[in-house]
Structure formats: C-alpha cells, structure tokens
Amino acid sequence: MAFDSEFQKKLQIFLVAALVIAGGRAAYIVYARRAAMKDEAKPKPETALKADYYVTPKKLHAYDLTSARQLTEQAVWVKAGYQLTYYPYDRERHKTDFRHEAGLLPPLQKLAIQDVVTDVSPLAPGIKQVMACFSLEGKTYAAPIGAVKDGDFKIYSDDVFFIEDPRELYKDWPADVWKEIDAHEVQAGMSELQASFAIGMGVPEGSGDYGWRTLHYANGGKPLVINFQNDKAVEIKAGS
C-alpha cells in the first residue's frame, strides 16, 4: 500500500518529534543523575538525633506538700540557672524573709533540700508560697518552687531542679565542656543545653527554632548574647 506525500510528511514530522522528546528525556535523566551525585557529595547538615535527645531526666511530679518533700530524699541540682530567687529563712520561726533577696541560684548549684514548707509573701498575701529550704555556707535559705491557693497546689520543682546528677545524665560530653560549665563559662561549639548549664537560661531574640536562634543571657549580672547555628554557639558577645 503506497503512502501519499502528505501522509509521509506528517509521519516524518511525528518521527522527528518523537526522537526529540526521547533525546530530551535521556538528557534529563543524565542531568538528574549527575545532580544527584553532586548532592550526595555535598556535606549534609546533621539530621541524626543527638545522644542528648535520648536523655530523659527523672521527674518528681509533686502535687502537694507531702509529695514535694520527696526532694529531701536526694540531692538536687539547679536546672533554671539565675532564674530562682532565694531568701534568708529562719528555721526556728519557720519564716522566710521575703523582703531581703539573698540572690539567684546559679546553674547546676547542688543543694540538699532539708524541708518543703508553705509561707506567705507580703507581696502576695492571698497565696501561700511553697518553699524549698536548704543551707549554703552555714546559713539557711528558702526558694519558691510553687504556690497553693484554696487547697490547689501548683508545684514546678521539675522545672527548676534536676533530681539526678547532670554529670551522669550527660556523661558523654567532653571533659573540656564540663570544665567550662564548672567555671560558668561558655565556649564556641557549645549547644544550647550546654550553655544553659554554664551560664543559665537564655531569652530568645525574635523568632527562630531551637538551635538556630540568638539568645540573651543575664549570666548573673554579666550579660551575653549568643548566636546558635545547628545547635552550636557560633558567635558569643557581651550583652547589655
């Protein structure tokens, strides 16, 4: 059967178009494979979970005075550094001197809680404060760890204290990091958690995800500003 000239032209156009499409597809496959090989060769950001993320510090879950007194059964370490105000405490009179602040507890300060009591601050006469009592350098102090009103307790000791030794919880950290933490110093490369152990809690500047943001630290009166990238301190400067 003979093909007319018009049909032959259409067939040629179709075949040429098919070859162009096939060639383009082959070129794209080669390009995509080369791009994938280049991407594999590039350094990738850390995506694996750090060992720190698997650490689950034990919590007390205190809900009243009796359960909060379990704090006396082991040592505690300050989790919220430079955030918890403590006051002189008269053990004989069972009274806290709320009018005279003794200071702010530094990060990872080890304490032996001797008792947990309630007391009333003149600044909030309608609410009883839940106070953790302890001794430092031979003097007795108390720090608020909750409140109670109309029999309803709100205790936040789990937010301010570790009840396990942080050195054991994070024993995989290098010795030089722990040396800086013990000296309340921060160094480049530290994570947000390590920095909080060294110089206390930070306040975020603007928005930003954990590990990818700038934090302002009061640092016990020596303010610092730290920029974190990939959960590592990359810039440390004096704050105001």
217 belongs to a structural domain: yes
Contact 183, 176 (CB under 8 A): no
Residues 95, 152: one domain?
yes
Residue partners of 147: CB distance under 8 A and separation at least 6:
127, 128, 129, 130, 153, 154
Contact 85, 200 (CB under 8 A): no
* pLDDT of amino acid 32: 52
107 secondary structure, DSSP code: T
| pLDDT of residue 49 exceeding 90 | no
Residues 101, 192: one domain?
no
* pLDDT of amino acid 51: 84
Q: Examine the fold and report which residue of 162, 192, 222 is the final residue of a domain before the chain moves on.
A: 162
Q: Examine the fold and report which residue of 109, 138, 162 is the final residue of a domain before the chain moves on.
A: 162
* Encoded tokens for 98: 């709320």
27 belongs to a structural domain: no
4 belongs to a structural domain: no
28 belongs to a structural domain: no
Residues 148, 88: one domain?
yes
* pLDDT of amino acid 203: 95
For residue range 98-127, list pLDDT tens digits in order: 999 999 999 999 999 999 999 999 888 889
Q: Examine the fold and report which residue of 137, 162, 187 is the final residue of a domain before the chain moves on.
A: 162
Nearest in space to 184 (alpha carbons), one of 173, 167, 200: 200
3 secondary structure, DSSP code: P
Q: Report residue 184's pLDDT band, with 50, 70 and 90 as the boundaries.
A: very high
Find the domain containing 63 and state its range: 56-162
43 belongs to a structural domain: no
Q: In Å, how far from its chain's centre is CA 119?
A: 31
Q: Report residue 78's pLDDT band, with 50, 70 and 90 as the boundaries.
A: very high
| pLDDT of residue 37 exceeding 60 | no
Contact 122, 98 (CB under 8 A): yes
H or E stretch including 68? helix 65-68
Give the total number of structural domains in the chain.
2
Residues 158, 177: one domain?
no
Residues 73, 137: one domain?
yes
* pLDDT of amino acid 124: 84
User: What's the mean per-residue pLDDT of the chain?
Assistant: 85
Q: How far apart are CA 191 and CA 186, in angstroms?
A: 10
* pLDDT of amino acid 4: 53
33 belongs to a structural domain: no
**The model scores a pTM over 0.75:** yes
Share of the chain above pLDDT 90, in %: 72
* pLDDT of amino acid 214: 97
Point out the least confidently predicted range of 33-42, 83-92, 155-164, 176-185.
33-42
* pLDDT of amino acid 1: 46
